[in-house]
Amino acid sequence: MSSEDYIIKCSIAPPCVVYIKEKAIDNAFTIEFEKVPLKYAKQYLKNWNQETFLFKEEDAKAGIYIRLSLGEGINDLCTIQQASNTTFTTITGEGWTMTWSDPNACFIVTPPNDFDFPDTYRASFHSNAFYTTAKEGSTTLEAYFVNFTDVKTKIVAVNLYKRYPVDIEYFTASPDTVAIGQMTTLSWRVLNAQKCYITGVGQVETDGSRAVTVTGPTKFELSAENDMGMTERAALEVGCEKPTIRLWSDSLYYHKGDSITLYWESTSATSVQIAPSLGQVQTSGQATIFPESDTYTATANGYDGIRPYAAMTALQLEKTPWVKKGQTTGVDLSKEVQNVDRRVWAYGGNSYLFCDLTLYRSANLLNWEEVSKLELDLNMTLNAYSTTVAGATFIVMGIIKKDSKFIQVASYDFNKKVWTISDAIADLGNTGGQLTNRSGTSYYGALSKPLLMFYTPEAVFEGKWGMSLYYKDKEMDTYDISSLRDNLYAAVHETTNGFVKVNQMGGNGWIDMGTTNKIVEGWFSMISTKGVMYLLTADWMINLDDFKSASPFQPPLEADYRPWTGSMNNIPFLMTKEGILWCYEV
């Protein structure tokens, strides 16, 4: 192939674009010369005008002469001063140089000595901080190839476009850390661009803002493009707040076989697991469970910024032996508002209680019927009282008779089905005593500090109940009495520390059984069953054999209202003011 068949192709990167920008190291372009067959590059050819250069071709050394349109107009590339201040670094082509020639007002590209272009040869040069003040528009660069023996002598023309660079003034997210599922606002402003895209959003205006929902740590990239296809990119990352998790239930106590409802609520979580049983659940919700464990844990998975993070919480349940049996009928327990011990007593296979001056009977503790109403004379009142069963008699102690020095006792004979009222003990000004029964003998405890005195009908004094024994404690302020087998118990609340001390009457006097390790506020009551004495409070029931085996009661009882208590078939039970029956089933 002859030399007439080849030409040197000239190309500029970025593709035929130079930027109008202040002088900076990153404001540069690359010019490249490549030997190619003539048939592939005819569009680059232009007639040579010798008059534009101050030399004759036959006198010039081999080289490439690059002429520019100089000035600050739309068709100019740059001023002569700006061109002369631009330097180039050789990228490819060992021994090649590219320098400015003031006499010829052009750049001269000089090859090494005795160089002829071999086939597919390239030489390229990188401008160093090119700078122009010319107006935005287009211009033409002309390259003249002189005295290369194997290259057809032609001028190559390259169109150049002057553009302001795409400039992303700002691209921000506010806030830059949000809870999962919440929104952040992306804001941006781009100059010298025709199109803008944001990943996950799509095409947007060059100046604007957009609220987006964050489902996890997200990298947003803004891509801006001008009419020449030149792009600029900026990226930011929106992180996520740490997840939080709450776990609670409609009850912290449960009985075997009963269900409770768990509730949970999380923030900034991608997923939530609850163990045991439930596994993965919705990030917030509720579920009914039959507890398999006393401890349930909830784990919320998410992120701390962009790093995976998990938050955990635990719910501690407590198994209680108290079981809700149902609503009582036939008696309105809320009518009894007096300060009474509210005992339920067993006789003849039935249970009995005294409420609102009426004796009631039940075979199952749920359904009650009226047995007999106690009719008092007009000169009698029943302000506070206590009850018990002795033999075939239901006893009510605490009637006050006008002008009498004695507290009256009412006795109901189950066989004769009649009430009788008689004097019992001297009126000490305190009718808030308590009755119990030990081995068929009734005991009435009355407090007269520092003594808790016990009266019985057997210890007859002038035909009245007589004092048979006493317990002395100067610190006690309230008390409760009960019996188990042949033993009499006295539980006293001590003013100084708030604890309850329990004593048992033995053959040689009172025996100290122990003291609670919890402060007792409000009422307390002893219940005996299956050979064990228990102490019940508004919050828990404790086994008096060891004072440790406490069984919580749920829901908490009213501290200022003592419930109705008793034992049926060796099962302790209580009934609330609202008539709800609870049984103690281990």
Residues 67 and 206 in one domain: no
Residues 217 and 138 in one domain: no
Could you tell me the sign of the dihedral formed by the alpha carbons of 129, 135, 139, 145, in that order?
negative
- Domain hosting 282: range is 244-319
Residues 433 and 348 in one domain: yes
Indicate the residue type of 390: A
Tokens at 1, concatenated: 């192939």
Residues 528 and 559 in one domain: yes
pTM of the model as a whole: 0.60
| Nearest CA among 195, 133, 189, 183 for reference residue 162 | 133
Residues 181 and 326 in one domain: no
In CATH, what number is assigned to the domain containing residue 378? 2.120.10.80
Residue pair 143/155 in contact by the 8 Å Cβ criterion: yes
| Residues belonging to the chain | 586
What does the DSSP assignment read for 206-266? SEEEEEEE-SS-EEEEEEEE-TTS-EEEEEEEEEEPPPEEEEEES-SEE-TT--EEEEEEE
Supply φ then ψ for residue 42, to 5 degrees.
-60, -25
Q: Distance (Å, rounded) from C-alpha 318 to C-alpha 394?
A: 39
- State which H helix or E strand residue 372 sits in: strand 368-373
Go through 302-334 and write b for each residue having 16 or more CB atoms within 10 A of its CB, e for each that does not.
bbbeeeebbbebebebeebbbbebeebeebebe
pLDDT digits (tens, 9 = 90+) for 233-245: 999 999 999 999 9
Q: Distance (Å, rounded) from C-alpha 86 to C-alpha 209?
A: 40
Give the mean pLDDT of 273-278: 94
Map residue 494 onto helix, strand or coil: strand
pLDDT for res 555? 66
228: alpha, beta or left? (left if phi > 0; alpha if psi -120 to 50): alpha
Question: Which of 319, 345, 365 is at the close of a domain?
Answer: 319
Q: Distance (Å, rounded) from C-alpha 489 to C-alpha 483?
A: 6
Question: Which of 163, 182, 197 is at the close of a domain?
Answer: 163
Give the mean pLDDT of 276-293: 94
153 by Cβ neighbours in 10 Å (0-12 / 13-18 / 19+) ranks as: middle
Map residue 499 onto helix, strand or coil: coil
Question: Which of 143, 163, 183 is at the close of a domain?
Answer: 163
For residue 572, pLDDT over 70 is answered with yes
Residues 12 and 32 in one domain: yes
For residue 417, pLDDT over 90 is answered with yes
Q: Distance (Å, rounded) from C-alpha 395 to C-alpha 417?
A: 13
Residues 72 and 123 in one domain: yes
pLDDT for res 512? 93
Share of the chain above pLDDT 90, in %: 50
Q: ∠ at Cα 65 (60, 66), nearest 5°?
A: 165
In CATH, what number is assigned to the domain containing residue 105? 2.60.40
Could you tell me the sign of the dihedral formed by the alpha carbons of 130, 133, 138, 143, in that order?
negative
Say how many Å lie between the first and final Cα of the chain, rounded: 109
Q: Distance (Å, rounded) from C-alpha 518 to C-alpha 85?
A: 93
Q: Distance (Å, rounded) from C-alpha 583 to C-alpha 572?
A: 6
Residues 454 and 362 in one domain: yes
pLDDT digits (tens, 9 = 90+) for 499-551: 999 999 977 889 999 999 888 888 999 998 888 899 999 888 888 988 876 67
- State which H helix or E strand residue 81 sits in: helix 80-84
pLDDT for res 93? 87
Lowest mean pLDDT, pick from 26-40, 322-336, 569-583: 26-40
Residues 201 and 124 in one domain: no
Q: Distance (Å, rounded) from C-alpha 112 to C-alpha 93?
A: 9
For residue 460, pLDDT over 80 is answered with no
CB contact set of 97 (below 8 Å; sequence gap of 6+): 90, 109, 110
| Tally of structural domains, the chain | 4
| Nearest CA among 364, 372, 374 for reference residue 329 | 364
pLDDT digits (tens, 9 = 90+) for 308-334: 999 999 999 988 888 889 999 999 998
The more confident residue out of 107 and 16 is 107
Rg over CA atoms, the chain: 52
pLDDT for res 395? 95
What does the DSSP assignment read for 103-130? TTTEEEEEPPTT--PPTT-EEEEEEES-
pLDDT for res 42? 47
Residues 355 and 296 in one domain: no
Q: Distance (Å, rounded) from C-alpha 547 to C-alpha 532?
A: 12
Cα-based distances in Å from 452 to 455, 492, 503: 10, 9, 12
CB contact set of 263 (below 8 Å; sequence gap of 6+): 247, 248, 249, 250, 285, 286
pLDDT digits (tens, 9 = 90+) for 53-111: 545 555 677 888 888 889 999 999 999 999 998 889 999 888 899 999 888 889 999 98
Contacts for 503-510 with beta carbons within 8 Å, 24 or more apart?
Answer: 503/471, 505/469, 510/471
- State which H helix or E strand residue 83 sits in: helix 80-84
Q: Distance (Å, rounded) from C-alpha 140 to C-alpha 75?
A: 8
Residue pair 407/385 in contact by the 8 Å Cβ criterion: no
Residues 466 and 394 in one domain: yes
DSSP annotation of 135 reads: P
Residue pair 79/70 in contact by the 8 Å Cβ criterion: yes
Helices and strands in the chain: count of H runs, count of E runs: 1, 52
Q: Distance (Å, rounded) from C-alpha 202 to C-alpha 186?
A: 13
Q: Distance (Å, rounded) from C-alpha 402 to C-alpha 121?
A: 133
Residues 291 and 368 in one domain: no
Kindly report the number of other CB atoms within 10 A of residue 402's CB atom.
9
Map residue 50 onto helix, strand or coil: helix
